[in-house]
Copies of this chain bind each other. A is one copy, B any other.
Amino acid sequence: MTSGNTRTNDFVLKIATVNGTGSASANGLLMKALFRMGIPVTGKNMFPSNIQGLPTWYEIRASQEGYNARTGRVDVMVAMNAQTYSKDLAEVSHGGYLIYDSTWPRDEQLSRDGVSVLGIPLSKMVNEHFEGSRVRTLMKNIAYVGALCALMEIDREIVRTLLEETFAAKPKLVEPNFKAVTLGYDYAREHFDCPLPVCAGKMDATAGKILIEGNAAAALGCLYAGATVGAWYPITPSTSVMDAFQGFCDKYRKDPETGENRFCIVQAEDELAAAGMVVGAGWAGARAFTPTSGPGISLMSEFIGFAYYTEIPAVFFDIQRVGPSTGMPTRTQQCDVMLAAFASHGDTRHPVLFPSDPKECFELAVSAFDLAERLQTPVFVLSDLDIGMNDWMVDELQWDDAYRPDRGKVLTDADLAEIKHFHRFRDVDGDGIAYRTLPGSDRKGSYFVRGSGHNQYGGYTEDADEYRQVVDRLKLKWESARGLVPGALERKAPSRTDIGIIAFGSSHGATLEALDRLAADGVAVDYLRLRAFPFGDEVEAFLKAHRTVFVLEQNRDAQMRSLLKIELDADPQKLISILHYNGLPVTSEMIIERIGDYIRQEAVA
């Protein structure tokens, strides 16, 4: 056996299968087992845009240092899909391992210098012990879990406990499953030197942590923020936001006595309708949201501009996938940054929040509702497929029971009784935010919402000055927004430097890792993580304080760099793009390389 470097709790395990074969649960077992062993893990699912029969991959990274980014490495590959076999083999890092189902003999394409190939007759073993084709397919997956337990020292008892939890409702299934584990396990122990140098070992780095997908966390945020109306049209990769919200509501929002729902979820006929429903509900005073992805935002554009101009709170979750157009629905990108910021015709601009992991999906979902109501405007939460649909290890979510929604400037009937006239669009407080009333209020507070020209009193207008007064106030409101959105967070390099990097969203993990490694190599880079648009003063200060600022983003056209230029009049010369946009999550290696190249070149020049 070729011996690679010993890599305890620092490896990438990748499993190549075919979708629709139930491998997802086997892979989940592996993830959770490592997690319960106390090892930081992340899982990345690369699945096709169909339902059954196409290649799919699952990548588990274990990192004792807690890094969660994709890396270019594959230490152990489980190659279950003949169709992608050669591609999978090619991907294994030098010194790595490939495990395959050796039931049927394969030709020499099986081997590659520097990669140890381990054949396990998974089908044969499973077929000997189980009946029924569906069961056999499933058990084959469980059997490779067993083999990996042996090869990588993954705790079999934890796997057993997990099976017991999974099948709590059908306990009879535990034994057969564990038998499949044992089959793989025993075979590996008998035929190979176990463990491999790449393996797991108990540690204690997952206390206080959970494993969660961003979409579920976002749904929890909506639940906790008190959102009651959710309207949506199914689209990958956002669908699971509403699925999760429905699940949580069924659990926490059904009246225990009457069974009535304290929520209303509408599967709309399309995204335009979903947007309209959210706007209607927001107008009527409910916290309302819609999850979608790029194509949905394009379709919602008209309504988004309407909500901007009529000043109606609404929350839009854009779980970004690869564009343009239908693009690659099951791959990740950060490619709707500009669209979210400016969606719709005319002069419009919208606050955008950028969660960097599921925990922030939860937190920023709550912020989004507060901001939408405080600012009376549509607010975007820009997540992506990587955050939304992958399992991330994050700190346990916290909730402060003292939290109360910020409903913003809403006049009650009592308030109305105290004022002489109600003028919907007048800037009473000088912050650009006017007072609103909700439908059902006293008739003194009634007003007419219209996307056409209106004056500060709420009347229809085609008058040049009256029109301008309102849009100028909207601009002032935007200034107010700068002070209200979550600020960017700075992480200083260990030593003084005039080099900085700006990143956001799902690039965060890779950035942290890259900066640590660069620091270890003596390259100091300060890091500013954006959490919102518009940018606060801290972003301007960071730009001012650095000679060179890398802007890392997962799109082709440097959209965030554009925003920095548009919004802050940032000096373009100092903004150096690092762009990654092939649909896979960005790796730390790539960042290190780009920064390294740039610095070397600069040194030469």
Q: Which of A195-203, A319-327, A423-431, A533-541 contacts B (4 or more CB under 8 A)?
A: A319-327
Bound CA–CA A365/B575 (angstroms): 37
A326 in contact with B451 (CB, 8 Å): yes
The reply on A259 being an interface residue by CB < 8 A is no
Interface assignment of A467: CB less than 8 Å from any CB of chain B: yes
Q: Mark A470-487, 1 if CB is under 8 A from B, else 0.
A: 011001000000000000
A306 interface residue (CB < 8 Å to B): yes
Contact of A294 among B327, B328, B345 (CB under 8 A): B345
Q: How far is the CA of A327 from the CA of B344 in the complex (A)?
A: 12
In the bound complex, CA of A345 to CA of B347 (Å): 18
* Distance from A460 Cβ to chain B, minimum over Cβ atoms (Å): 9
- Contact status A462-B48, CB under 8 Å: yes
A316-357 interface (Cβ within 8 A of B): 322-331, 333, 335-336, 338-339, 342-349
Q: Which of B346, B451, B570 contacts A572 (CB 8 A)?
A: B570
Q: Give Cα distance in the complex from A485 to B336, angstroms.
A: 27
The CA-CA distance from A571 to B294 in the complex, in Å, is: 31
Asked whether A435 is an interface residue with its Cβ less than 8 Å from the other chain, the reply is: no
B462 and A328: CB pair below 8 A? yes
Q: Which residues of B contact A297 (CB under 8 A)?
A: 345
Check A555 for interface membership: any CB of B closer than 8 A: yes
Instruction: Write the nearest CB–CB distance from A45 to chain B, whole angstroms.
Output: 13
A313 part of interface (Cβ distance < 8 Å): no
* Chain B residues with CB under 8 A of A331: 453, 462, 464, 467
Name which residue of chain B comes closest to A472, CB basis.
B556
Chain B residues in 8 Å Cβ range of A294: 345-346
| Complex contact B339–A323 (CB within 8 A) | no
A566 within 8 A of B: yes
Q: Is A93 an interface residue (CB 8 A)?
A: no
Indicate whether A234 reaches chain B with its CB closer than 8 angstroms: no
* Bound Cα distance A555, B346 (Å): 8
Complex Cα spacing A592 to B95, Å = 73
- A468, B580: Cα distance in complex, Å: 10
Stretch in A104-112, A141-149, A522-530, A581-589 touching the partner:
A581-589
Interface residues of A (CB under 8 A from B): 48-49, 294-295, 297-299, 301-302, 305-306, 308-310, 322-331, 333, 335-336, 338-339, 342-349, 450-453, 462, 464-465, 467-468, 471-472, 475, 555-557, 559, 562, 565-566, 569-573, 581-584
6 cross-chain pairs, A with B, having the tightest CB-CB distances, nearest first: A323-B346, A294-B345, A325-B451, A324-B346, A569-B572, A464-B582
**Could you give 9 example pairs across A and B, Cβ below 8 Å?**
A309-B324, A310-B325, A325-B346, A326-B452, A327-B453, A328-B453, A346-B555, A347-B556, A565-B566
